[in-house]
Structure 1
Amino acid sequence: MVTIKDVAKEAEVSVATVSRVLNNQGYVGEDTRGKVEEAIRRLKYRPNNVARSLFKKKSKMIGFIVPDITNPYFPQLVRAVEDVTNKAEYTTFLCNSDEDIKKELMYIQKMQENHIDGVIIVSNTLQLHHLENLDLPIVALDRFFHKNIPSVTIDNYKEARKAVSYMIKIGCKSIAHIKGPDNIVNSVLRLKAYEDEMRECNLPAIICSGGYQFKESEKAMINLFKTNPGIDGVFAGNDVMAVGALKAANRLNLKVPEDLAIVGFDGIEWTETVSPEITTMVQPIYQMGKRAANMLLHLIDGKELEDMHVVFKTELTIRETTKA
């Protein structure tokens, strides 16, 4: 393998001079620069990115930790982040954590070893003490992490209440909620919103757990109908579970929306690819990912943020799983 020392020897200059040419740092005479560039071409030298990052103090890489890459919500976030960072000539180091603290800590260690310039996290397991000694910018996405960590989120409680309120307004009297995992803040806030809205309207709370998963939510809804056959509406804690509820309705020969109204949350593309198309609270997923990426690049450049915590609004998008 050709090294920087080989290039220096071929060009009859010092290693420091070759480094200045490679990184475009400091003064190098035109004749000397030409000799170095010719030696690089002749020897087909490819600079070591890690070595260059040590010299420049930047690796041009960012880390992105997501909990479940199989959930269509997260690839849409990843796409937005990459669109922004690629334009800035950064590479995204994508990590799927499964909400496993050991995996997340391992990823962070690897990021440090590779001199990552900054990281975007979607995590409910990491705590502030895991990150406060890291000497790199961090932005939390989708979930508020800590007042000292910049974040891009939505108001899950407020927006979920809008969804349940809408279902009541269209005439649903027995609304079930498929909740997500108990350890995920978004899931807990959406559940609380459902419970508070139902209590204030003097309606019974009917709850089952779908774990933010398709198959799990389908089974949960089938079992729930055995004990609550009068359910006329389902508010799902995310769109994946809303699709599971729709599948359960088909298996139970229930007509949607005539027998059962379904409302999801997130706004992933799945909601438009099934039939009937699912009414849902649409998050501006792309805009959220884009904002988080721009915030991180801003921090990497040593600039202060105008707004540490950005909260986006959702939009109720009415489709075929609810009656007018």
Structure 2
Amino acid sequence: MATIRDVAARAGVSVATVSRVLNGNGYVNKETARRVRRAIQELNYRPNMVARGLANRKTGTLAVILPDIKNPFFSELARAVEDTARTGGFTVIFCNSDDLGSREKSYIEVLRQKYIDGIIIASNTLGEADVAYINDNDIPLVVLDRGPGVGDCAVFRAKNADGAKMAVRHLLDAGCRKVAHIAGPEELVTARERLKGYREVAGAFPWFDESLIVPGRFSVEGGKEAVRRLLERHPDVDGIFAGNDLMAIGALKALQRMGIKVPDQVSICGFDGVEMTEWTEPELTTVAQPIYEMGAEATRYLIDRVRGKAEPKAVVELDVRLIQRGSTRRGAD
């Protein structure tokens, strides 16, 4: 395998000159640069990215820490990050934290030692001290979807409370008289914002009661369990707003197993807009986040941060939209 010294010898230049051509730093006259590039091609030389990273703390690599890669929402985000990073000339390392703060911290420490150029993280445990540690190590950071309440970092997320209000109003407009909410984990900012939006709309009606809110853990199984508990308390519920699409799918399956018709007896609306909401029968109405756009914008911002073209702190909230489908179309064929 050819080395940088082999390239220098073939081109008749110093190793430092080859390094300047590779990194695009410093002056090299055109003819010399052409000789170096020709030698690189003839020898099929591939730069050692680790060695270059040790020299200039740049490796052309971004890291993404996600809480659950099995969740289709995060899978779609991951695809957007990878596509955008590749277009920008970066490779991506993916880390799955399983929503464990200890694992996130372990990943952050390993990535710091690897001279990673920047980190995108979706986390419910990232705190001010963690953000400060990353900043102190001069690692550009972008928090995606799940953002900390404090800390100097950029955050990209959807308008969660607005989307929740949109969902509840849609269920009421569809003819529902009593709307319940299957909530995500209370430690998650996104879940709290969606719960807040639900309360703002539903709380204005005389039928509202806090017992209409049941936890669902952002999972299919959690959605199934929540429906059973909910109907034991309130058998007259005819509308359900689930805090994410996985819980909405679980709720739909549970209702169907109980012999309850959707949407004729109970209407359901989810949140996220993942592709699998089109695979259910009936197809699920959902409040769609611009998942791909969110991941792509966050990645472009991080690349700009790596290149010194963006401020370290920003909050970007993206619009959501309601996609009406069969789970709320009463009387539809």
TM superposition score normalised by structure 2: 0.87
Q: SS state of the match for residue 245, structure 1?
A: helix
Residue type at the aligned position of 2:328: T
Q: Is the 8 A contact 1:222 1:252 kept in 2?
A: no
Counterpart of 1:279 in structure 2 is: 285
Q: Distance in 1 between matches of 2:52 and 2:80?
A: 27
Q: SS state of the match for residue 81, structure 1?
A: helix
Identity %: 42
Residue type at the aligned position of 1:202: P
Counterparts in 2 of 1:154-169, with a 5 A limit? 154-169=158-173
Counterpart of 1:91 in structure 2 is: 91
The structural deviation recorded for 1:162 is: 2.0
Aligned CA distance change for structure 1 residues 33 and 235 (closer, same or farther; 3 Å): closer
Counterpart of 2:182 in structure 1 is: 178
Q: Distance in 1 between matches of 2:105 and 2:90?
A: 22
TM superposition score normalised by structure 1: 0.89
Q: Distance in 2 between matches of 1:169 and 1:306?
A: 42
Matched, 1:217 2:231: no
Aligned CA distance change for structure 1 residues 5 and 174 (closer, same or farther; 3 Å): same
Counterparts in 2 of 1:221-236, with a 5 A limit? 221-236=227-242
Measured against aligned partners, the alpha-carbon deviations of 1:59-108 in whole angstroms (never above 9, x if no partner) come to: 11111111111111111111222222111110111111112111111111
Return 278-287 or 158-167, whichever deviates more: 158-167
Counterpart of 1:144 in structure 2 is: 147
Aligned CA distance change for structure 1 residues 203 and 47 (closer, same or farther; 3 Å): same
Residue type at the aligned position of 1:158: D
Q: Is the 8 A contact 2:122 2:147 kept in 1?
A: no
The structural deviation recorded for 1:125 is: 0.4
The structural deviation recorded for 1:23 is: 3.0
Q: Distance in 2 between matches of 1:104 and 1:231?
A: 40
Residue type at the aligned position of 1:127: G
Superposed CA RMSD: 2.5
Q: Distance in 2 between matches of 1:99 and 1:25?
A: 41
Counterpart of 2:198 in structure 1 is: 194
Counterparts in 2 of 1:1-324, with a 5 A limit? 3-5=3-5, 14-28=14-28, 45-132=45-132, 133-145=136-148, 146=150, 148-205=152-209, 206-305=212-311, 308-323=314-329
Measured against aligned partners, the alpha-carbon deviations of 1:102-136 in whole angstroms (never above 9, x if no partner) come to: 11111111221221111112111011211222302
Aligned CA distance change for structure 1 residues 158 and 310 (closer, same or farther; 3 Å): same
Q: Which segments of 5 or more consecutive residues in structure 1 lack a partner in the other structure?
A: none
Measured against aligned partners, the alpha-carbon deviations of 1:254-308 in whole angstroms (never above 9, x if no partner) come to: 1110011001011111111111011111111111111111111111111235992
Q: SS state of the match for residue 280, structure 1?
A: strand
Q: Distance in 1 between matches of 2:115 and 2:62?
A: 9
Q: SS state of the match for residue 208, structure 1?
A: strand
The structural deviation recorded for 1:179 is: 1.1
Return 282-291 or 22-31, whichever deviates more: 22-31
Aligned CA distance change for structure 1 residues 158 and 37 (closer, same or farther; 3 Å): closer
Aligned CA distance change for structure 1 residues 307 and 119 (closer, same or farther; 3 Å): closer
Q: Distance in 2 between matches of 1:302 and 1:147?
A: 20
Measured against aligned partners, the alpha-carbon deviations of 1:180-231 in whole angstroms (never above 9, x if no partner) come to: 1121111122123223322211223312221101122213312432343222
Aligned CA distance change for structure 1 residues 317 and 43 (closer, same or farther; 3 Å): closer
Q: Distance in 2 between matches of 1:210 and 1:12?
A: 67
Q: Is the 8 A contact 1:157 1:189 kept in 2?
A: yes
Measured against aligned partners, the alpha-carbon deviations of 1:46-65 in whole angstroms (never above 9, x if no partner) come to: 32111122334421111111
Q: Is the 8 A contact 1:263 1:280 kept in 2?
A: yes
